[in-house]
C-alpha cells in the first residue's frame, strides 16, 4: 500500500511516499480502506519529536491521526461493523498512520460516519471533535449559560468548538483575525476579539472557562479573564504534575512535568484558577454522539483546503503557517 512516512524525528524531516505491506488486523480490528485523512497540529508535533516524552514510535512512521473510509475486512470478534460500512475514527495513539491507503483500527475507536457528509468532510471531524467533546464534557463540564473563551476560533479545533459550545448553551467569546471574523460569527460566536488589535484579557472578565488551542503567551494571559475557580483546558501547552499523576506516568515524568509547567502553576495560584492539560482519547461512542449532532445540522464541518495524499508534505506546511480557516484534508481515494 502507499503511505506518507517519515524516517526520523525533526522539524525539517519531509514526508515521503512509501510502499508498505498491508497492515495486520487483530480479532477486534477492522481493516479500513482510507478515503480521506485530516491534518492536525499533533502530526507535526510528532514529526518534530515534541511528544516523545508521551509517545514513542518506530521508524519509518506513517503519520496521520484521523480518517474516514470503508471497512473491507473485519477481525473474528468484531461485532459492531461489517464489510462495506462507511466509517470515521481516530485510532489509538500507538496505532496512528492514517496517511495511507489502508488502516487497521480497533472497532471501539470507530463510528459509522455521518450520512450527510462526504468522506472528505467526515475525515475533518474525529480528532477535533473528540478533543472538544472531552474538553467540554469531561474537563470543563460546561453548563448552559456559562461563558467560555475559545482561542483561535477560525482554526481547525476552534470552528468545531464554537459550534459545540453553542449547542451546549454557552456564551462564546473567541479570538480571530479580521479575515476570520465572518466565519466565527457565522458559526455562532457571541463576541469576537481581533487579537491583532486588542488584548483579550482587557476586554473579557468573569468567564467560567477557557479552551486554549495556542499555548504560550495566550495561555499565560488567559487566567486573567476567569472567575475564581474558573478552568482552563489546553491542548497545546505543557502537561503538569497533575496530568502525570492522573495518567500514572511515574515519578520521573511527574517531576519533569511539574518543573516545565511551574509558570502555569504559579498563574493558577495567583488568579485562583484551575489548569488542565488534555491528551484526548479515542472513543467510537463519542464519535457516534458527534455523528448525531452533525446529522441534525447542529454542527457542520469547515474545510479550508483539500490535497491529494501525495501532497501531504505541502498540506502540513500549509497548516503550519497558521493561515488555515477550518480543516485541511488529504483525499486518499476519490469516492464515486
**Domain parsing of the chain, residue ranges:** 2-125+301-331, 128-277
3-state SS class at 318: helix
305: β partners: 328
Confidence tier at 238 by pLDDT (50, 70, 90): confident
Please tell me the distance from the alpha carbon of residue 200 to that of residue 186, in angstroms, as a whole number: 20
Cell 464515486: give the residue: 336
Strand ranges for the chain from DSSP E: 2-6, 16-19, 29-39, 61-62, 67-74, 86-89, 102-106, 110-112, 147-150, 171-176, 191-194, 207-212, 226-234, 274-277, 303-308, 327-331
Q: How many CA atoms lie within 13 Å of 215's alpha carbon, on the beta-carbon side?
A: 9
pLDDT of residue 256: 75
Confidence tier at 252 by pLDDT (50, 70, 90): confident
pLDDT of residue 336: 66
Helices (H) and strands (E) in the chain, counts: 12, 16
What CATH homologous superfamily does 2-125+301-331 map to? Medium-chain alcohol dehydrogenases, catalytic domain (3.90.180.10)
pLDDT at 190 over 90: yes
241: cell is 504534575
Cell 470478534: give the residue: 77
pLDDT of residue 39: 97
> What secondary structure letter does DSSP report for 100?
B
Confidence tier at 247 by pLDDT (50, 70, 90): low
What CATH homologous superfamily does 128-277 map to? NAD(P)-binding Rossmann-like Domain (3.40.50.720)
Amino acid at each position: 500500500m502507499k503511505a506518507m512516512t517519515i524516517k526520523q524525528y525533526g522539524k525539517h524531516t519531509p514526508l515521503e511516499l512509501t510502499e508498505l505491506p498491508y497492515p495486520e488486523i487483530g480479532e477486534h480490528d477492522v481493516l479500513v480502506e482510507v478515503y480521506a485523512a485530516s491534518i492536525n497540529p499533533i502530526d507535526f508535533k510528532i514529526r518534530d519529536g515534541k511528544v516523545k516524552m508521551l509517545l514513542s514510535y518506530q521508524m519509518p512512521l506513517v503519520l496521520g491521526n484521523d480518517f474516514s473510509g470503508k471497512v473491507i475486512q473485519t477481525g473474528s470478534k468484531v461485532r459492531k461493523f461489517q464489510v462495506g460500512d462507511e466509517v470515521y475514527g481516530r485510532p489509538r495513539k500507538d496505532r496512528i498512520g492514517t496517511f495511507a491507503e489502508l488502516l487497521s483500527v480497533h472497532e471501539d475507536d470507530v463510528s459509522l460516519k455521518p450520512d450527510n457528509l462526504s468522506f472528505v468532510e467526515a475525515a475533518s471531524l474525529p480528532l477535533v471533535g473528540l478533543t472538544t467533546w472531552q474538553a467540554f464534557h469531561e474537563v470543563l463540564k460546561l453548563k448552559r449559560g456559562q461563558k467560555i473563551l475559545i482561542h483561535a476560533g477560525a482554526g481547525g479545533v476552534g470552528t468545531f468548538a464554537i459550534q459545540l459550545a453553542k449547542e451546549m448553551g454557552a456564551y462564546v467569546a473567541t479570538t480571530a483575525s479580521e479575515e476570520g471574523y465572518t466565519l466565527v460569527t457565522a458559526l455562532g460566536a457571541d463576541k469576537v476579539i481581533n487579537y491583532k488589535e486588542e488584548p483579550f484579557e482587557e476586554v473579557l472578565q468573569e468567564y467560567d472557562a477557557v479552551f486554549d488551542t495556542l499555548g504560550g503567551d495566550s495561555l499565560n494571559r488567559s487566567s486573567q479573564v476567569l472567575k475564581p475557580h474558573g478552568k482552563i483546558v489546553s491542548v497545546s501547552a505543557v502537561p503538569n504534575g497533575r496530568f502525570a499523576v492522573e495518567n500514572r506516568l511515574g515519578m520521573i515524568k511527574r517531576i519533569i512535568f511539574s518543573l516545565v509547567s511551574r509558570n502555569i502553576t504559579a498563574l493558577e495560584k495567583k488568579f485562583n484558577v484551575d489548569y488542565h492539560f488534555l491528551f484526548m482519547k479515542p472513543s467510537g461512542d463519542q464519535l457516534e454522539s458527534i455523528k448525531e449532532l452533525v446529522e441534525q445540522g447542529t454542527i457542520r464541518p469547515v474545510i479550508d483546503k483539500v490535497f491529494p495524499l501525495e501532497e501531504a508534505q505541502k498540506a502540513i506546511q500549509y497548516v503550519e503557517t497558521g493561515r488555515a480557516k477550518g480543516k485541511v484534508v488529504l483525499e486518499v481515494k476519490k469516492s464515486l
